[in-house]
Amino acid sequence: MTPSPAIAGRPHGRRSTPESRAWWLGQAMFFPAMIYVLAVIGLPFALAVIYAFSDIKVGSVGYHFVGLQNFTSILRSATFLRALYDSFIFTIGSQVLVLIGSTFLALALEKKFRGRGVVRFLMLLPWVAPVSIGAIGWKWILDSLYSVINWVLIRIPILHLDKFNPPQWLGEPALAMASVILVHTWRLLPFSTVILLAGLSAIPKDIPEAAEIDGAGFWRKMFQINIPMLLPILNVALLFGIVFTFTDMTVVYILTRGGPYDTTQVVPSLAFFTGVLGGDLSEGAAISLFMVPILVVVAFLMLRQAHRTEVT
Amino acid sequence: MAVVETRGLTKVFKQGELGAVNDVNLLTQEGEFLVFLGPSGSGKTTLLRMIAGLETPTAGAILIGGQDVTHLSPRERRIAMVFQSYALYPHLSVYNNIAFPLKAQKVPKEQHKQKVEWASGLLGIGKLLHRKPRELSGGERQRVALARAIVREPTVFLLDEPLSNLDAKLRASAREELEEFHNRIKTTTIYVTHDQVEAMALGDRVVVLHQGVVRQIGTPREVYDEPADTFVATFLGSPPMNLLEADGVIVGFRPERFLPAETKSAAPSESRVSLRFHVEHSEYLGAERILYGILEGTRFRDKPVCARVSSNVLEVYAPKSAYNFVVPEPELKFFDAKTGKRIPPRTISWQ
């Protein structure tokens, strides 16, 4: 997006002072960002709100205001309620795993050791790799016929797995949900770890040292000093993680398409299937709007908590 | 209570580089207040951190109360330390900060309250127990850090520049309190500072460090009046000792012993060295004046020196004028010009 030459280049009268020039330059520099936000976020959001209160479908003409009809209809739909339930399971499950995993990873990667740079780079890979490549890789790993996990499990004698009927990672409801959660955790772990690493490096080194001198062992130092001091930043990581997870459908879409029998269907993927693939724009919009109040409440709670535990 | 001993203690951070601490041998006395004094980078904090167990020595041994603790973790050494930043736990209340060492050392829970009250009472912070560290002033934080250090009655106390974060006025009163506090608890204390006034005021003995090497250990009077080498002579005292070199010898005298010839307090005339002092500029410091200038005549012509004249002397010393000054001969300290080490007094020709 290029700045509008009409504004960027406009001389501000003859009495142009350095301040007014700086003001105009500021406006010009800000303009592309504003256009971007309005066009890519503001406009679709407004459209979604407008659609959600209408009966618009792909190909339909005209606009009929129908009030809350779409919302009452989705609230009665078992598919939607199942998706809402799955969304919570998916979000809570993956966030618990991400928080525990990234806390330990961050604490481990903060220590100096040979090859730390390489390990940190490898750890970031799931985050920087395109999600489709990662998820397709996982699709193969969890495949019903070629799953490398099953190949390994079958060869472990004590497990006594049936060679001809191995676990169907993406084909059984509980396993499919677990797989989706694990893959999403794998994706989000680096992000959360990086945030926590930054938070850890902000803890003055002499505080854990003081704890050590005061007689604290490893666990006490971890649970009574390091983790409590990390709490505000953990909150930030959690807030971002919840938002990223609750609104994300990539992993679900690529791995299971919501199946089997909608048991991994989450709210965003349902909105996509209903609104875009199913052509029912108004109901799709209503489904996706349903996430907004939930996310607002989450954000409000987390920010308030972060404020309270702020440390100096 | 216990004594701390270091034997050949050395710390090299990067192989091939000069050590931060080199072959330090020390032995504290029971209940002593020992001060490590040195400029920044002299290795005093590294030395303290090795005694605390936060840094592993490259060579040498540390003994606390006769027991070799070189390879013990900090928690096994039964020491307490106050950090320069105080390192209070920001998420815990003052009470829990002070109680933390008790919990960590598994002191029976019934005793916590009584011990915390004892420590906080000793430092006059009994009313702050429910507050968080961020709600405290600098002086209060320092007391909380001290209370946290004494609460479990350690055998040795380590203090790393605990006064440097306080403003000048508070620092003076905190220094006094610290001294009184030590007199009361009588625990062997090692105190690190770069401030010579603090070192002189607090220390039973002062260890002067430079580039990781101990230059001198002695009482404040010894290190000031009988410096072991030119480093100690110039590091202590402000302004530093005047040094003049001649015939392979460095002769030094303190600015406050370089006095106007007519001053009553100057030594009897038979044993003093007269010098012609050309004043270039002066600083008025209230209780005294510092005169900066050069010597005139003699073989030390144009050598920079300074004099510290008490405000009792009313004489005006105008810049760009010369005056007769004297140094009592016993106040002259002699050093070897090559090694900088102190040598016995000798006669040198001043002309």
Residue at a domain's end among B180, B200, B225: B225
Note the pLDDT of residue A262. 76
Alpha carbons B19 and B76: distance in angstroms, whole number: 26
A268 prior amide bond cis, ω within 30: no
What value does the mean pLDDT take over residues A278-294? Answer: 83
Whether B156 and B246 share a structural domain: no
- The CATH number of whichever domain residue B27 belongs to comes to 3.40.50.300
- Is position B28 within any domain? yes
Size of interface A-B (CB pairs under 8 A): 67
3-state helix, strand, coil in chain A (%, to 5): 70, 0, 30
Residue at a domain's end among B225, B249, B268: B225
Interface test with chain A among B49, B64, B75, by most A beta carbons within 10 Å: B75
- Is position B266 within any domain? yes
Decide if pLDDT at B266 tops 60: no
Name chain B contacts of A207, Cβ cutoff 8 Å.
87-90
Note the pLDDT of residue B267. 54
- Is position B10 within any domain? yes
Name chain B contacts of A211, Cβ cutoff 8 Å.
89, 100, 104
Q: B100 to chain A: nearest residue by CA?
A: A214
DSSP conformation letters of B264-283 = TTSPPGGGEEEEEEEEEEEE
Whether B180 and B209 share a structural domain: yes
- Is position B231 within any domain? no
- Is position B60 within any domain? yes
H/E stretch holding B6:
strand B4-11
Name chain B contacts of A233, Cβ cutoff 8 Å.
none
SS3 category, B33: strand
pTM of the model: 0.76
Name chain B contacts of A214, Cβ cutoff 8 Å.
75, 80, 100-101, 104-105, 148
Alpha carbons B177 and A17: distance in angstroms, whole number: 60
Q: B160 to chain A: nearest residue by CA?
A: A206
Give the CATH class of A75-308. mainly alpha
Question: From the CA of B75, how many Å to the nearest CA of chain A?
Answer: 4
Asked if the Cβ–Cβ distance from B52 to A211 is below 8 Å, we say no
Query: Domain containing B201: what range?
Result: 4-225
Number of domains comprising chain B: 2
Burial class (CB in 10 A: 0-12, 13-18, 19+), A141: middle
Residue at a domain's end among B225, B253, B269: B225
Asked if the Cβ–Cβ distance from B91 to A229 is below 8 Å, we say yes
Note the pLDDT of residue A6. 45
Note the pLDDT of residue B241. 93
Note the pLDDT of residue B269. 57
pLDDT tens readout for residues B172-231: 888 888 888 888 888 899 999 999 999 999 999 999 999 999 999 999 999 999 999 999
**Mean pLDDT for chain B?**
89
Structural contact between residues B195 and B164, judged by C-beta atoms closer than 8 angstroms: yes
- The CATH number of whichever domain residue B280 belongs to comes to 2.40.50.140
Name chain A contacts of B53, Cβ cutoff 8 Å.
212-213
SS3 category, A176: helix
Whether B211 and B90 share a structural domain: yes
H/E stretch holding A89:
helix A78-110
pLDDT tens readout for residues A76-120: 888 888 888 888 999 999 999 998 998 888 888 888 888 888 888
Helix runs in chain B, H state only = 44-52, 94-104, 109-122, 138-150, 168-185, 196-202, 220-225, 230-235
ipTM of this predicted structure: 0.81
Question: From the CA of A301, how many Å to the nearest CA of chain B?
Answer: 20
Question: From the CA of A132, how many Å to the nearest CA of chain B?
Answer: 42
